[in-house]
Amino acid sequence: MWSQLILVILAAAASVRCAAAATSGGKWDMLLKNVGISAMHMQLLNNNRVIMFDRTDFGHSNLSLPNHKCRTYPSNKGTLIVDCTAHSVEYDVHTNTIRPLMVLTDFWCSSGAVMPDGSLVQTGGYHGGDHAVRVFKPCDNGSCDWQENVSGLIQRRWYATNQILPDGRQIIIGGRRQFNYEFYPKTGLTVSYNLPFLFQTNDPGIENNLYPFVFLNVDGNLFIFANNRSILFDYHKNVVVRTYPNVPGGDPRSYPSTGSAVLLPLKMTQGDEVEAEVLVCGGAPKGSYTSANKSHKFVNALDSCGRIKINEAKPQWVMDKMPMPRVMGDMLLLPNAKVLIINGASAGTAGWEMGRDPVLNPVLYNPDENIESRFEVQNPSKIPRMYHSSTILLGDGRVLVGGSNPHIKYDFTGVLFPTELSLESFSPSYLDPIYAYLRPTIISPVSRIKIGYGQRVPIRFSVPGRVKMDMVRVTMIAPSFTTHSFSMNQRLLVLRSEDVKIVGRSKYQIRVVTPGSGNLAPSGYYMIFVVHQEIPSEAIWVQIQ
Ligand SMILES: *[C@@H]1O[C@H](CO)[C@@H](O)[C@H](O)[C@H]1NC(C)=O
Ligand SMILES: *[C@@H]1O[C@H](CO)[C@@H](O)[C@H](O)[C@H]1NC(C)=O
Ligand SMILES: *[C@@H]1O[C@H](CO)[C@@H](O)[C@H](O)[C@H]1NC(C)=O
Ligand SMILES: *[C@@H]1O[C@H](CO)[C@@H](O)[C@H](O)[C@H]1NC(C)=O
Ligand SMILES: *[C@@H]1O[C@H](CO)[C@@H](O)[C@H](O)[C@H]1NC(C)=O
């Protein structure tokens, strides 16, 4: 009797979950076989164009600059190299086309963030480019390009991490042999500030703390994870507010033992009491880098994830196990508030020729499921995406995947993992046509409207099929700057909604409350998705200020 009842309840629960979509699956599509460069860094802008770039110091790319433009730079031997190829492109998502861009200084292994006005500010790089600040203001007419200032930074920044701040500045943290941070733009003192934590987490020779994982906490402080340790940092006062416990196992997770991390979706509540949780997944065990470098032994990557509530009185890492090990995986927040883990390898580390056994299957992580059933393995790609690959979320819900070049130069033949110039998309199963009847389309407001903090905003949408009013929610996502398996500035807020009502035939309105402060959502452009039974609409862009 009881067991029958339980069976009925379980069956009902299972059927709800199936009807509500997003089981295993996902679909890969080749978008462009050759974009001319290997997309090492990517950023989506508010006009649905993606800026991609690689590096400028290895010779010719596979894409010519327009109008016979060229660049000359000195080689190591002092002779002049003439290069008439592009090392950066703008990808137009709607037309699936690229446009070559011109850059003079080397932005290899650099970092960046989009400013509140929507322009991409990218910082640092290599050699002559290591102090540069480069600005790309989006345009719709194909006339915009990089503007460079070679002396925009105080310190050289190579493998640093940037985070946009509530006051509209960026903080630029660390970089190779830089145990300090600085701000852009400069206000007041043009100095950099010491951050001993970066010195303490630096393994001499290996430097296992590059591209630290940085998140803006809901209290305005910064959560910083480097190597195998993490702190909460008050950048106003230059003090460590708290030190978190070690992740069990103590293995490194930062470059070159590259794991990845996200700030899990922030669920807005009345009074803006918001819980913040960080999830760190994968990486390479202690000694992997030395083993790969010295003896060509490629150690299995880590298959563990650690999750921590960063504002609890006694925060503890809760460990979980991925379906397979992964180093150099990317973690992306999807519009339905799940996490996609994609790309990378199951052995070795980041660095030239040091990854092995590509992981072709992405996995989905559902933060709201029970710990035993959070992961779902997705369909595989055919293309290994190893060192120097990248991935970002697009406004239509697809995931853009590009890059991969573990070689010092472009190398297409006779090597493991040839240089990849292709662009693919991964469409999570929520884009499957079988869910079209559930998919919302946003009717109003129009894209690129301005909104304020703590405001009520009505959003109108249509859905072809029957709407489950209590299964509609609205998510707001900041587009990330992705490189080296970390998506800087990635942030997802599940907005508080007040009511859903019918306003016409197949037309509905949901009223949401925008976040209360810049600590929750620094000002700038975000994508807004209406999500119905886990199926997201296409995004509109809003500028919160
Ligand atoms: C890139 O250019 C090189 C040199 O011109 C050529 O050998 C190679 O086949 C090209 N690769 C692709 C994928 O187009
Ligand atoms: C292109 O658009 C920008 C504004 O986005 C404008 O400043 C510029 O003058 C335009 N250029 C051309 C050639 O139309
Ligand atoms: C480049 O940046 C530096 C440091 O912020 C600034 O002093 C200088 O004026 C900038 N140069 C240009 C041409 O904008
Ligand atoms: C990696 O190997 C190279 C050449 O064998 C050596 O010069 C370098 O010091 C090694 N690096 C590390 C971190 O072991
Ligand atoms: C963290 O990494 C450091 C540097 O490699 C190492 O000395 C330390 O033992 C690690 N911590 C733990 C708890 O394993």
pTM of the complete model? 0.94
Residue nearest to atom 9 of ligand 3 (CA): 152
Cα 90 to Cα 45, 69, 99, 139, 178, distances in angstroms? 10, 17, 5, 11, 31
Residue nearest to atom 12 of ligand 3 (CA): 149
What pLDDT is recorded for position 190?
Answer: 77
CA of 262 to the centre of ligand 5 (A): 22
Calculate the alpha carbon distances from 235 to 193, 213, 231, 519 in Å. 9, 15, 12, 13
Confidence of residue 342 (pLDDT cuts 50, 70, 90): very high
Please tell me the distance between residue 291's alpha carbon and the centre of ligand 4 in angstroms: 10
Kindly tell me if the per-residue pLDDT of 14 is higher than 90: no
C-alpha distance across the termini of the chain, in Å: 58
Q: How confident is the model at residue 404 (pLDDT cuts 50, 70, 90)?
A: very high
Cα 70 to ligand 3 centre (Å):
25
pLDDT tens digits for 354-399? 999 999 999 999 999 999 899 999 999 999 999 999 999 999 999 9
* Domains along the sequence of the chain with CATH: 2-431 (2.130.10.80), 434-544 (2.60.40.10)
What is the pLDDT at residue 204? 87
The finding on whether 150 has its CB within 6 A of some atom of ligand 3 is: no
Query: In whole angstroms, how large is the CA radius of gyration of the chain?
Result: 23
CA of 152 to the centre of ligand 3 (A): 5
> Can you list the alpha helix ranges (DSSP code H) found in 150-300?
196-200, 288-295
Neighbour tally for 113: CB within 10 Å: 27
As a whole-number percent, the residues of the chain with pLDDT over 70 amount to 96
Element (H, E) at 305: strand 304-309
Whether the predicted pLDDT of 74 surpasses 90? no
Residue nearest to atom 5 of ligand 3 (CA): 152
Residues at CB less than 6 angstroms from ligand 5: 203, 227-228, 246, 250
For residue 420, how far is its CA from the centre of ligand 1 (angstroms)? Answer: 11
3-state secondary structure of 506: coil
- Residue owning the nearest CA to atom 6 of ligand 5: 250
Under the banding of pLDDT at 50, 70 and 90, the label for residue 19 is very low
Our mutation pick for probing the ligand 5 site, out of 200, 228, 251, counting the most ligand atoms within 8 A of Cβ, is 228
Taking the C-alpha atoms of residue 358 and residue 53, their distance in angstroms, rounded to an integer, is: 23
Query: What type of residue sits at position 353?
Result: E
pLDDT at position 419 = 98
Phi and psi torsions of 434, nearest 5°: -65, -15
Q: What is the pLDDT of residue 18?
A: 39
Residue 3 has pLDDT above 70, yes or no: no
State in Å: Cα 270 to ligand 1 middle: 56
- Which ligand has the shortest distance to the CA of 36? 1
154 CA from centroid of ligand 4 (Å): 29
Question: What does the pLDDT look like over 142-181, one tens digit per residue?
Answer: 999 999 999 999 999 999 999 999 999 999 999 999 999 9
Pairing of strands 27-32, 111-114: unpaired
Our answer on whether the CB atom of 189 is closer than 6 Å to any ligand 3 atom is no
Task: For residue 203, give the 3-state DSSP assignment.
Answer: coil
Ligand lying closest to the C-alpha of residue 153: 3
What is the per-residue pLDDT for 11? 41
Residue positions counted in the chain: 545
Residue 187's pLDDT band (cuts 50, 70, 90): confident
8 A C-beta contact, residue 492 and residue 543: no
Reply yes or no on whether the pLDDT at 23 is more than 70.
no
Residue 371, pLDDT score: 93
Tell me the pLDDT tens digit for each residue of 245-270.
999 999 999 999 999 999 999 999 98
The ligand with the least distance to the CA atom of 59 is 1
Of the ligands numbered here, which is closest to the C-alpha atom of 118? 2
Compute the distance between CA of residue 426 and CA of residue 409 in angstroms, rounded to an integer: 27
Q: What is the pLDDT of residues 501-537, one digit of tens each?
A: 999 999 999 999 999 999 999 999 999 999 999 999 9
pLDDT digit string, tens, across residues 76-135? 888 999 999 999 999 999 999 999 999 999 999 999 999 999 999 999 999 999 999 999
Determine if ligand 3 sits within 6 Å of the CB of residue 295: no
In DSSP terms, which residues pair with 161 in a beta bridge? 173
Top mutation candidate among 33, 61, 62, 411 for ligand 1, by most atoms within 8 Å of CB: 62
With a 6 A CB cut-off, is 4 part of the ligand 2 pocket? no
CB within 8 Å of 22: residues ≥ 6 apart: 336, 338, 364, 428, 429, 430, 534, 535
Atom index in ligand 5 nearest the CA of residue 228 equals 1
Q: What is the separation of C-alpha 488 from the centre of its chain, rounded to a whole number of angstroms?
A: 6
104 C-alpha to ligand 5 centroid (Å): 40
Residue 249 CA: nearest ligand 5 atom is 14
CA of 62 to the centre of ligand 1 (A): 6
**Which of the given ranges, 3-17, 66-80, 501-515, has the highest pLDDT on average?**
501-515
142 lines ligand 2 (CB under 6 A): no
> Nearest residue CA, atom 3 of ligand 1?
62
CA 353 to centroid of chain Cα atoms: 24
Residue 10 has pLDDT above 60, yes or no: no
> Using CA positions, which residue lies closest to atom 14 of ligand 2?
141
Question: From ligand 4's centre to the CA of 359, what distance in Å?
Answer: 26
Q: What is the pLDDT of residue 78?
A: 86
Strand 491-494 with 266-267, pairing: parallel
Here the tokens at position 47 are 């006009």
CB of 290 sitting under 6 A from ligand 4: yes
Which residue has the least CA distance to atom 4 on ligand 2? 139
Check if 187 has its Cβ closer than 6 Å to any atom of ligand 3: no
Ligand 3: does its nearest atom lie under 6 Å from the Cβ of 97?
Answer: no
Distance from Cα 457 to the centre of ligand 1, integer Å: 51
- Model confidence at 9, in pLDDT bands (50, 70, 90)? very low
For residues 441-470, average pLDDT: 97
| pLDDT of 282 higher than 90 | yes
